[in-house]
Amino acid sequence: MTGREASGRGSATTRQLGLVTGWQVVASTCFYALFAGTALLRDAIGISRFQVGIVVTAATLGYTVALFPVGAAVDGAGEKPVLVGGLLALAAGVGAVALSDSFLTLLAAACLLGAAYATAMPATNRAIVTSVPSAVRGRAMGIKQVGVTGGSGVAAVLVVSLAPSVGAWNLGFLVAGGVAALVAVAFAVGYRGAPGGQWRLPDVRALAGNRAYVALAAAGFCLGAALFTTVGYATLYLTDAVRVSVAVAGLGFAAMQVSGSAGRVVAGWLADRREEGEALANASVLLGQAALGVLLLAALAIPALSKPVAIALLVGVGATVLGFTGLYYACMTALVPTEEVGAATAGGQTALNAGALLAPPAFGWLADASSYRAGWLLLAAVAAAGVASLVVARRETA
């Protein structure tokens, strides 16, 4: 390969990575608008903390149910049509959240929004695997995953801090939906994509026989519970327990997402620098990142934290608990053939979401019945179980 050919290939890879990351930012802005706006939704519709947990679970349920069909579609048709259609569906879902006027309509809108977001991980992960060389795939996966925390941060600022200042609590949701619809059209024109393969049902039996994959998915169940619950309750924790304003809580949420972005990129960079095989290197760094996250979650249970300390701890949780997914998917995709990436990602994301189906209502119930301190201790214990599973996953990849 000549220098000019290598440069051209590198430019094409960078362009594809940029487009996919941009897609992820917009998609995550739509999805996480629901999580960032929980305080606004609670006041506008009149729901309890426990009902907030049910809404988060409804979004996660829609997300989970759609994952395997979406994974099969990605492997069969390629990622491009799934990405374009998914962004249009996200625009409709976040618009439905904005127009909800009761607990039941909000539940339905949340479920639709979650189902639309199921297009994200299988399709974007396949895009990375098919367009990025394995030597830098950890970093590329981390950069792409920055779109998740970046979009979450945009959602926090847009939905919680900016839009309510002009007098309309749901304006941020509507703006996010409009931008998603426009970007879907632009993405359809600008993204090349890789062709699909064979349409078939996911080979769940083969995945279940991969012990490293199963251990990694078990860790995802626990860490996903901590991730989605933290995202769903961070703004409420800051306003209810730490006693900051809604606007400051939104900025704190955004800072947590920014640190999550940094955690994904730095962890991927560290894994790429290690000399072990791709899966082992990813699992090793992921283990250390998750273990630090457990300590930070436990620290949030310390009584009477000051406002700066509480926000700083959440920022640390962002870098670890929110920042683990880049290496999680990089490790997972390294364990399976390219033609099974969609199905493997669907299984891994299903594991993440399954934990999130249970933990948010439990956290909300503890916050109502006891205190946020009890909720943070629960999440720390669950994440610790995830660390134990990562120990097994690392041993199986060695």
Whole-prediction pTM value?
0.73
- Distance of alpha carbon 217 from alpha carbon 331, whole angstroms: 11
Tell me which residue of 358, 323, 349 sits closest to 119, measured CA to CA: 349
382: in domain: yes
261: in domain: yes
Q: Is 103 exposed, middle or buried (0-12, 13-18, 19+ CB in 10 A)?
A: middle
Sequence-separated (6 or more) residues with CB below 8 Å from residue 24: 120, 124, 144, 145, 146, 147, 148, 150, 151
Residue type, 138: G
299: in domain: yes
94: in domain: yes
138: in domain: yes
Which tops the pLDDT comparison, 146 or 327? 327
pLDDT band at 103 (very low <50, low <70, confident <90, very high): very high
N residues, the chain: 398
Which tops the pLDDT comparison, 294 or 357? 294
7 has a pLDDT exceeding 80: no
- Give the count of domains, the chain: 1
113: in domain: yes
pLDDT band at 299 (very low <50, low <70, confident <90, very high): very high
Mean pLDDT score, 236-240: 91
17 has a pLDDT exceeding 70: yes
Q: Which CATH number characterizes residue 218's domain? A: 1.20.1250.20
What is the torsion angle, in degrees rounded to the nearest 10, for the CA atoms of residue 310, residue 162, residue 47 and residue 365? -20
90 has a pLDDT exceeding 90: yes
197: in domain: no
Tell me which residue of 138, 126, 143 sits closest to 193, measured CA to CA: 126
CA separation (Å) from 81 to 87, 128, 186, 191, 302? 10, 16, 13, 10, 48
The token pair at 47 is 């729901």
Provide the 3-class DSSP secondary structure of residue 390.
helix
Range of the domain at 213: 3-190+204-397
199: in domain: no
Q: How many degrees, rounded to 5, is the angle at CA 112 between CA 194 and CA 365?
A: 120
The token pair at 124 is 């974007």
What is the torsion angle, in degrees rounded to the nearest 10, for the CA atoms of residue 254, residue 378, residue 325 and residue 199? -120
Mean pLDDT score, 338-354: 80
Mean pLDDT score, 358-384: 92
The predicted-structure confidence for 116-131, as pLDDT tens digits, reads as follows: 999 998 888 888 888 7
Query: In the chain, how long is the greatest CA-to-CA distance?
Result: 67
